[in-house]
């Protein structure tokens, strides 16, 4: 019966989840504002320290084969402060599909007295697998599902621009310059790699920190995802920051989910974040929500450059 559950899951996802019918899907994060490396390669090095982040996302809990994502990223500026470097690893699972991605990032910053403008490039690859041998069919030994693994090698590159100062940031990025079309059969997979600007995805992100009181700040942020011939996806977040320690917030993702966010800035180096998504699509009847946990640690601070808490 597991085979039919996998088929049902895929049909429901394609019908009710915006954008999931694309040939290759970028991972989705509710707490993107705590680590924008995955959105914009120009972000790397902007925290003026070596910054490492772990994230775990369990989406649509209760649906067998629902998406699960684990990520690790690390980035830092070089001593001259103009160059930032970064690395990331993403492991994604959905049904019998598994994808492991590796990326490296380079950013060059133009430094101003109180702000910076950064240009970034990213490059990497993904190993995509369809593990048909994991399918349990009604008829044991069904030859249609005896194939062990279909594997595909998917290269990718990205580009971004990022401007920021102490209170404000804005960035524009193209996270996937190469389009990878995967055609899967029961015996093999065919991969078509090409560059097609008509299929590029564009991410526009911005945020600002307002001082309401001495120990209370509010940070609205916005992420807009655009692709030709598809609805624009808008992610709106509002976080209240108490004593530079406690973050409480809410988020709305157009046509998809609302979320509650909690963050703890335990000290200058360590931050812990948690979010819970409530689904707004028909999938809401079949799951108990989405959980996401983030752990960020920054070390190697230059005290002359980092004189206050960073909010992005």
What is the number of domains present in the chain?
1
From 48, 30, 45, 39, select the one nearest 289 (Cα to Cα): 30
Asked, for residue 169, whether it belongs to a domain, the answer is yes
Q: Tell me: the pLDDT tens digits for 17-52?
A: 444 444 446 788 999 988 899 999 999 999 989 999
Instruction: Please answer whether residues 30 and 260 qualify as being in contact, where contact means their C-beta atoms are separated by less than 8 angstroms.
Output: no
pTM for the structure as a whole: 0.85
Q: Exposed, middle or buried, 184 (CB in 10 Å: 0-12/13-18/19+)?
A: middle
What mean pLDDT is predicted for residues 163-183?
88
Whether 306 maps to a domain, the answer reads no
pLDDT band at 96 (very low <50, low <70, confident <90, very high): confident
Q: List alpha helices for 177-306, DSSP H.
A: none
Which H helix or E strand runs over 22?
none
Contact 97, 154 (CB under 8 A): no
Mean pLDDT of 193-204: 75
Residue 140, judged by CB atoms within 10 A of its CB (0-12, 13-18, 19+), counts as exposed
DSSP SS3 for 36: helix
Give the separation between CA 113 and CA 166, rounded to whole angstroms. Answer: 11
Q: Which segment of 11-25, 52-66, 243-257 scores lowest on mean pLDDT? A: 11-25
Q: What is the pLDDT of residue 172?
A: 98
Higher pLDDT residue, 222 or 183? 222
Which whole-number Å values give the CA distances from 62 to 28, 272, 274, 305, in the listed order? 19, 25, 19, 46
CB atoms within 10 A of CB 13: 21
Cα gap 297→50, rounded to integer Å: 8
For 53-89, give one letter per residue: b (16+ CB within 10 A) or e.
bebebebbeebebbbbbbbebbbbbeeeeebbebbbe
Judge whether residue 10 has pLDDT over 60: no
Instruction: For residue 310, tell me if it sits in a domain.
Output: no
Given pLDDT bands bounded at 50, 70 and 90, which one contains residue 8? very low
Q: Which residue would you say has higher pLDDT here, 28 or 132?
A: 28
pLDDT value at position 48? Answer: 87
d(CA 239, CA 264): 12
Q: What is the pLDDT of residue 180?
A: 75
pLDDT at res. 130:
80
Distances (CA, A) of 198 to 67, 176, 178, 231: 28, 12, 11, 15
Alpha carbon distance 157, 177 (integer Å)? 5
Q: Cα(254)–Cα(235) distance, rounded to whole angstroms?
A: 6
Would you state the structure tokens that stand for residue 199, as one six-digit string?
Answer: 């299929």
Q: pLDDT: is 310 or 269 the higher one?
A: 269
Domain range enclosing 247: 2-299
Whether 126 is in a domain gets the answer yes
Instruction: Provide, rounded to the nearest whole percent, the portion of the chain with pLDDT above 90.
Output: 59
Residue 15 belongs to a domain: yes
Can you give the CATH number for the domain in which 57 is found? Answer: 2.40.160.40
Is residue 308 in some structural domain?
no
* Residue 151: strand pairing partners: 129
For residue 168, tell me if it sits in a domain: yes
Q: What is the pLDDT of residues 229-243, one digit of tens each?
A: 788 999 999 999 999
Q: For residue 143, name the pLDDT band (cuts at 50, 70, 90).
A: low
For residue range 177-196, list pLDDT tens digits in order. 887 766 555 555 555 666 56
pLDDT at 19: 41
In a domain, 80, yes or no: yes
How confident is the prediction for the chain on average, in pLDDT?
85
* Confidence bin at 150 (pLDDT 50/70/90): confident
For residue 14, the model assigns a pLDDT of 45
Is residue 165 helix, strand or coil?
A: strand
């Amino acid at each position: 019966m597991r085979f039919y559950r996998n088929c049902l899951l895929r049909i429901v996802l394609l019908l009710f989840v915006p954008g999931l019918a694309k040939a290759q899907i970028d991972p989705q994060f509710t707490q993107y504002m705590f680590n924008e490396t995955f959105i914009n390669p120009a972000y790397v090095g902007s925290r003026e320290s070596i910054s490492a982040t772990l994230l775990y996302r369990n989406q649509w809990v209760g649906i067998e084969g629902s998406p699960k994502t684990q990520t690790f990223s690390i980035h830092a500026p070089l001593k001259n402060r103009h160059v930032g470097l970064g690395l990331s690893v993403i492991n994604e699972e959905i049904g019998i599909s598994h994808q492991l991605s590796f990326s490296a990032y380079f950013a060059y910053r133009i430094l101003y007295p109180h702000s910076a403008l950064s240009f970034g490039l990213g490059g990497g690859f993904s190993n995509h697998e369809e593990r048909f041998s994991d399918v349990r069919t009604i008829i044991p030994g069904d030859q249609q599902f005896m194939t062990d693994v279909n594997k595909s090698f998917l290269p990718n590159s990205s580009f971004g621009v990022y401007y920021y100062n102490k209170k404000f940031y804005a960035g524009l990025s193209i996270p996937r310059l190469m389009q990878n079309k995967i055609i899967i059969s029961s015996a093999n997979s065919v991969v078509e790699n090409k560059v097609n600007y008509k299929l590029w995805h564009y991410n526009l992100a911005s945020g600002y920190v307002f001082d309401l009181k001495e120990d209370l700040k509010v940070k609205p942020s916005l992420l807009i995802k655009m692709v030709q011939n598809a609805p624009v996806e808008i992610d709106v977040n509002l976080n209240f920051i108490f004593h530079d320690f406690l973050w409480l917030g809410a988020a709305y993702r157009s046509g998809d989910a609302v979320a509650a966010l909690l963050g703890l800035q335990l000290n200058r180096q360590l931050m812990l974040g948690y979010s819970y998504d409530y689904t707004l699509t028909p999938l809401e009847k079949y799951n108990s929500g989405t959980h996401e946990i983030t752990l960020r640690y920054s070390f190697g601070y230059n005290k002359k450059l980092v004189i206050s808490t960073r909010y992005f």
